[in-house]
């Protein structure tokens, strides 16, 4: 299936799913969910869960000289991500077709992998991915510590659909190098205590942070009524910066 295109601001955006595109544009550009301020005119941004690249376009819109390391495991989404980077002549953007967790290797990803899929729900967590119509696919997985190294990270975005705590625990020795972060924590009936673990980790690493709980059950119920009734999912958005 060929990608469609939309002119938005100064970008030519490739996409395949119109509903997903409109949702991402509203969330990222209009609501500025990834907004942050920095005195560095060439910030280093790590984008874990870049999907089709709307977040990458936003970061480049705000910081044209930004250096971006972006991860996306789903092949269909990654192809569009690559197209959006190339079509808009973005430089200093490194794209990695892998999921992010606390190990390196292969894993099963649960999700909708059809050509016209809404890929924002794809996950390594079976509980989060056990939805009606979801299938399985093997994907490459990587971890962040060797990629961060000794670099300062101006902004870390973690939208990894369920492996948030695992990633944060593994990079905790490098948290002193991270200035600001965005974590989207996915809560369901079996992991409700994990949010407290994330808060404690951020506190002991001198982060000021705010948590906003987002009601997503009504949105998800239209496609996954049985899964929503069973798991009672919520999303918590955590925005933090060094104290």
Query: Which range of residues forms the domain containing residue 212?
Result: 4-34+48-242
Residue 221 reports pLDDT greater than 90: no
Residue 37 reports pLDDT greater than 90: yes
> Structure tokens of 165?
């705590």
Sequence-distant contacts of 107-114: CB under 8 A, at least 24 apart: 107/138, 107/139, 107/141, 108/136, 108/137, 108/138, 108/139, 109/73, 109/74, 109/136, 109/137, 109/138, 109/139, 110/134, 110/135, 110/136, 111/74, 111/135, 111/137, 113/74, 113/75, 113/76, 113/137, 114/76
Domain count, the chain: 1
Name the percent of the chain lying above pLDDT 90.
70
Q: Is 220 among the domain residues?
A: yes
Q: Is 188 among the domain residues?
A: yes
Q: Is 39 among the domain residues?
A: no
Which band of pLDDT confidence, cut at 50, 70 and 90, is reported for residue 58? Answer: very high
Q: Is 43 among the domain residues?
A: no
pLDDT at 118: 60
Residue 232 reports pLDDT greater than 90: no
pLDDT at 228: 82
**Of 31 and 161, which is predicted with more confidence?**
31
Spatial distance between the Cα atoms of 77 and 98, rounded to a whole number of angstroms: 11
Mean pLDDT of 211-231: 81
Residue 205 reports pLDDT greater than 70: yes
Where residue 153 sits, what CATH number does that domain have? 3.40.50.150
pLDDT at 26: 95
pLDDT at 120: 61
Q: Is 115 among the domain residues?
A: yes
Contact 116, 133 (CB under 8 A): no
Q: Is 18 among the domain residues?
A: yes
Instruction: Indicate whether this model's pTM tops 0.75.
Output: yes
In this structure, the number of other CB atoms found within 10 A of the CB of residue 221 comes to: 14
Q: Is 71 among the domain residues?
A: yes
| Nearest one of 110, 53, 118, 104 to 83, comparing CA atoms | 53
Name the percent of the chain lying above pLDDT 70.
97
**Of 51 and 117, which is predicted with more confidence?**
51
Q: Is 41 among the domain residues?
A: no
Residue 231 reports pLDDT greater than 90: no
pLDDT tens for 122-150 read 888 887 777 777 888 899 999 999 999 99
pLDDT tens for 144-180 read 999 999 999 999 999 998 899 999 999 999 999 999 9
Q: Is the dihedral of CA 83, 237, 147, 103 positive or negative?
A: negative
């Amino acid at each position: 299936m060929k990608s469609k295109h939309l002119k938005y601001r100064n970008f030519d955006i490739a996409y395949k799913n119109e509903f997903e595109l409109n949702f991402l544009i509203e969330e990222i550009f209009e609501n500025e969910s990834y907004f942050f301020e920095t005195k560095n005119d060439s910030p280093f941004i790590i984008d874990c869960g870049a999907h089709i690249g709307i977040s990458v376009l936003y970061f480049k819109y705000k910081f044209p000289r930004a250096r971006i390391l972006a991860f996306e495991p789903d092949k269909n989404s990654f192809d569009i991500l690559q197209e959006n980077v190339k079509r808009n002549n973005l430089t200093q953007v490194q794209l990695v077709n892998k999921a992010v967790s606390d190990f390196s290797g292969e894993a099963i990803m649960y999700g909708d992998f059809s050509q016209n899929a809404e890929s924002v729900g794809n996950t390594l967590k079976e509980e989060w991915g056990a939805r009606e119509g979801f299938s399985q696919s093997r994907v490459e997985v990587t971890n962040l510590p060797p990629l961060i190294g000794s670099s300062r990270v101006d902004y870390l975005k973690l939208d990894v659909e369920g492996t948030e705590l695992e990633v944060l625990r593994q990079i905790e020795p490098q948290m002193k190098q991270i200035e600001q972060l965005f974590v989207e924590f996915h809560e369901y009936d079996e992991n409700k205590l994990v949010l407290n673990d994330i808060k404690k980790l951020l506190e002991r690493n001198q982060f000021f942070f705010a948590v906003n709980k987002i009601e997503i059950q009504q949105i998800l119920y239209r496609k996954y009524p049985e899964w929503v009734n069973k798991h009672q999912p919520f999303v918590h958005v955590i925005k933090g910066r060094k104290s």
